[in-house]
Amino acid sequence: MDIYKINDVAKLIEGNSYVGRGIIIGKTADGKKACSAYFIMGRSANSRNRVFTVENGAVYTKPFDPSKVEDPSLIIYAAIRRLQNHLIVTNGDQTDTIYEGMEKGLSFAESLTSRQFEPDAPNLTPRISGVLHFDEGDFNYEMSILKSADPEGSACNRYTFTYPSLNGLGHFIHTYVCDGNPIPTFVGEPERVKIPNDINEFSSSLWSALDKDNKISLFVRYTDLETGKEEDILINKNV
């Protein structure tokens, strides 16, 4: 087993009907840009009734058809927000929890101590989060997963991973291993994946690999480390 293997994220996803929601963070192969990506999938009509929107640089999930919303509590939230030199990416309203905690001087991990997995038994969906810390033309990043310690949801396991940024390397964390009932949740460390220089190549490959029936939306941002300029790609299945 090659523990330093860097995978093609599309090949990790292809043929898997349901990896849920996913976060990818890393640095392009040329070392010039930071990559942050987030996608959502859904099986129910309520979950599929969503789009991504961008407002003042922040990314939100919104209902595609407001008249069909059944329960907005776990599907409508700010997915990406910037706080000074930090870019926060998550799969739920813990984006705001991290933002408010770090604004008060707490660390990324400390900010999440008040949260746990989602209350959607029997799946008990993990909360996955990431943050990029930009400084002096470079960045490092952290990723987190909060998941149930047992099938009953009686306690929460908390895992935080801290990474330097290395050229061409990213890390991929997602909520589920595959489809199921209940759905098996992600296990182990975030997966090592390639980050190409071209945002269009990366976005197209990722979107194409996601299951055609269950994919909903994808957002990818490349941030130029020298200038701070952001390049975004947003893809919504519902248009």
Does the structure show a pLDDT above 90 at 58? Answer: yes
Q: Which letter, b or e, does each residue of 62-87 get, where b requires 16 or more Cβ atoms within 10 Å of its Cβ?
A: bbbeeeeeeeeeebebbbbbbeeebb
Residues 173-231: tens digit of each pLDDT: 999 999 999 999 999 999 999 999 999 999 999 999 999 999 999 999 999 999 999 99
Q: How many CB atoms lie within 10 A of CB 217?
A: 26
Which of 37, 6, 47, 25 has the alpha carbon at shortest distance from 183? 47
pLDDT band at 161 (very low <50, low <70, confident <90, very high): very high
Residue 73 has pLDDT above 90, yes or no: no
Give pLDDT, residue 223: 98
